[in-house]
């Protein structure tokens, strides 16, 4: 066999692929051609994610290499705080073109969080029509559906035929954010119902729109909570939700992309508060160390002060500990189990409140349910705890540990499930009654339960 033949059958040497470079790495190396290739090879949402990870200087350098249409697509994928960072580095003409091309609802959301100087510059650079729409959205209450809806809607009069309606959609649709859901209105622009574009396309041209309209559509008012409206869309499986004013006149549509962002922001805020920190805007990787520390410090300080309750309880039962020193061995086990049980119940209840599975009126039912869950969990843990106690310190203290675990878990689960509902009733964000706060409270009361049980069982 010739060398050529050998080369054919010989196993190929595995090729080594270089690790993919991030946009930040390419920009750092000052390779313009490589940066342009990277931007061309990646979709807008990935470019936006990379820009959000970068500092203002490098993000601005990369963004200015995008063409006009692609720049707008990437810009609208960014969070408001990152959009402001990009805008500060643009020249006046590029600045005006970018903010003029944004959808009014996206522009209003950015301005809501922008410094006054940036907001003034944005509004000054808009055409009169775009400025009026943006100002109208900013006039609605913070966090309302009106702030997130798009006012660019194709609304159909009820007396049109399908052929006329489709002609109107073709004429006005380019200026609307969506045409999949078409509100039907009367002469006073009051919402009568909705018709889907699919129904128009599949119906005969001479069919009247009034014969196709859904006359009892799901809708929200502009002053309603945006989160409530977004969750309503999820519950009813609609992709666009009509938004009306106090007189039932159509003012816009809440689209599915904005609804997803609203729910994501609300869930992120809940997770942050449940973890004992303040929510922050922007990308985690772009946040400064001291910025993250500042967001977390307040809750840690409050919990540190609250933890002095545990010290106080331990000090009050110092005589009990002196007579049965082995009790101290099980303090971490007991307060850890109780704190975790309370945190689990609090997290479950906050989530159930957020998605509408639980209401404040269900308070007594939640108490009864969580009490039983806690007792079952406590009994399971007690079996293990008594075994550990019997091995290390003897039967008497093992019984104390077992009884305490049952009582603590029942108490912790009840407190954890109850506090978010009480917070809701008092108009406090249930997520503020976070797992760390529940854990701290259960730690202190759990020690009281432990030492009281020890005094009763051991007779000390």
Quote the pTM value.
0.63
Count of structural domains within the chain? 3
Query: Looking at 158-167, 171-180, 270-279, which range is the least confident one?
Result: 270-279
Tell whether 85 and 40 lie within a shared domain. Answer: yes
Write down which residue in 275, 299, 333 finishes a domain.
275
Indicate whether 343 pLDDT > 90: no
Write down which residue in 217, 244, 275 finishes a domain.
275
Tell whether 294 and 358 lie within a shared domain. Answer: yes
- pLDDT tens, position by position, 119-135: 777 777 788 888 888 88
- pLDDT tens, position by position, 58-98: 788 788 888 888 888 888 888 877 887 787 767 666 777 77
Give the domain CATH number at 341: 1.10.357.20
DSSP state of 174: G
Q: Which of 118-127, 144-153, 289-298 has the highest mean pLDDT?
A: 144-153
Tell whether 351 and 401 lie within a shared domain. Answer: yes
Give the domain CATH number at 240: 3.10.580.10
Tell me the sheet residues that pair with 196. 181
Ramachandran region, residue 324 (left: φ > 0; alpha: ψ -120 to 50; beta: rest): beta
Tell whether 304 and 259 lie within a shared domain. Answer: no
Q: Answer whether residue 280 is part of any domain.
A: no
Indicate whether 200 pLDDT > 80: yes
Q: Answer whether residue 76 is part of any domain.
A: yes
DSSP state of 214: B
Kindly state the average pLDDT of the residues 196-209. Answer: 93
Distance CA 119, CA 102 (A): 14
Write down which residue in 275, 305, 323 finishes a domain.
275
Tell whether 60 and 122 lie within a shared domain. Answer: yes
With b meaning 16 or more CB within 10 Å and e meaning fewer, what string describes 58-78? bbbbbbeebeeeebbebbbbb
Q: Answer whether residue 150 is part of any domain.
A: no
Tell whether 130 and 227 lie within a shared domain. Answer: no
Chain mean pLDDT for the chain: 82
Work out the burial of residue 210: count CB atoms within 10 Å of its CB; fewer than 13 is exposed, 13-18 middle, 19 or more buried: middle
Distance CA 48, CA 89 (A): 16
Q: Which two tokens stand for residue 304?
A: 């540190």
Tell whether 346 and 385 lie within a shared domain. Answer: yes
Contact by Cβ (8 Å): 169, 200: yes
Work out the burial of residue 168: count CB atoms within 10 Å of its CB; fewer than 13 is exposed, 13-18 middle, 19 or more buried: middle
Q: Answer whether residue 405 is part of any domain.
A: yes
Q: Answer whether residue 254 is part of any domain.
A: yes
Contact by Cβ (8 Å): 356, 388: no
The count of residues in the chain is: 460
Q: How far apart are the first and last CA of the chain?
A: 95
Output 373 or 295, whichever has higher pLDDT.
373
Q: Answer whether residue 15 is part of any domain.
A: no
Tell whether 298 and 442 lie within a shared domain. Answer: yes
Give the domain CATH number at 34: 1.25.60.10
Q: Which of 215, 207, 95, 219 is nearest to 153 (CA)?
A: 219
Domain extent, residue 264, equals 156-275
State which H helix or E strand residue 309 sits in: helix 308-316
Tell whether 123 and 181 lie within a shared domain. Answer: no
Tell whether 133 and 178 lie within a shared domain. Answer: no
Tell whether 74 and 170 lie within a shared domain. Answer: no
Output 397 or 275, whichever has higher pLDDT.
397
């Amino acid at each position: 066999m010739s060398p050529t033949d050998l080369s054919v059958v010989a196993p190929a040497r595995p090729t080594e692929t270089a690790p993919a470079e991030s946009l930040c790495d390419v920009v750092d190396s000052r390779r313009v051609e490589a940066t342009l290739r990277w931007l061309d090879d990646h979709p807008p949402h990935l470019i936006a994610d990379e820009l959000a990870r970068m500092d203002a200087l490098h993000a601005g350098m990369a963004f200015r290499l995008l063409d006009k249409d692609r720049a707008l697509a990437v810009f609208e994928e960014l969070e408001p705080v990152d959009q402001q960072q990009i805008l500060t580095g643009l020249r006046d003409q590029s600045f005006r073109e970018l903010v003029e091309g944004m959808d009014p609802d996206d522009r209003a959301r950015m301005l809501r969080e922008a410094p006054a100087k940036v907001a003034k510059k944005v509004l000054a650079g808009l055409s009169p029509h775009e400025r009026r729409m943006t100002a109208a959205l900013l006039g609605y209450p913070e966090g309302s559906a009106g702030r997130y809806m798009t006012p660019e809607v194709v609304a159909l009069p009820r007396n049109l035929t399908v052929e006329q309606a489709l002609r109107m959609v073709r004429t006005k649709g380019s200026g609307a954010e969506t045409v999949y859901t078409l509100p039907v209105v009367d002469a006073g622009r009051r919402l009568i119902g909705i018709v889907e574009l699919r129904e128009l396309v599949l119906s005969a041209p001479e069919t009247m729109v009034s014969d196709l309209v859904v006359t009892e559509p799901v809708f929200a008012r502009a002053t309603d909570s945006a989160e409530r409206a977004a969750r309503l869309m999820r519950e009813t499986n609609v992709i666009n939700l009509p938004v009306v004013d106090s007189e039932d006149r159509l003012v816009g549509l809440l689209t599915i992309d904005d609804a997803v962002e609203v729910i994501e922001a609300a869930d992120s805020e809940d997770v942050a508060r449940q973890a004992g920190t303040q929510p922050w805007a922007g990308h985690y990787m772009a946040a400064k160390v001291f910025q993250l520390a500042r967001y977390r410090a307040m809750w840690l300080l409050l919990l540190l002060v609250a933890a002095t309750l545990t010290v106080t309880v331990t000090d009050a039962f110092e005589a009990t500990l002196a007579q049965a020193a082995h009790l101290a061995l099980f303090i971490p086990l007991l307060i850890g189990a109780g704190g975790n049980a309370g945190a689990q119940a609090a997290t479950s209840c906050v989530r159930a409140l957020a998605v509408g599975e639980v209401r404040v009126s269900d308070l007594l039912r939640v108490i009864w349910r969580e009490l039983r869950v806690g007792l079952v969990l406590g009994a399971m843990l007690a079996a293990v705890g008594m075994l550990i106690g019997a091995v290390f310190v003897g039967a008497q203290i093992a019984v104390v540990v077992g009884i305490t675990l049952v009582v603590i878990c029942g108490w912790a689960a009840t407190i954890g499930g109850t506090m978010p509902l009480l917070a809701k009733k008092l108009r406090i964000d249930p997520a503020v009654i976070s797992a760390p706060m529940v854990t701290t409270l259960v730690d202190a009361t759990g020690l009281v339960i432990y030492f009281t049980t020890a005094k009763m069982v051991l007779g000390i």
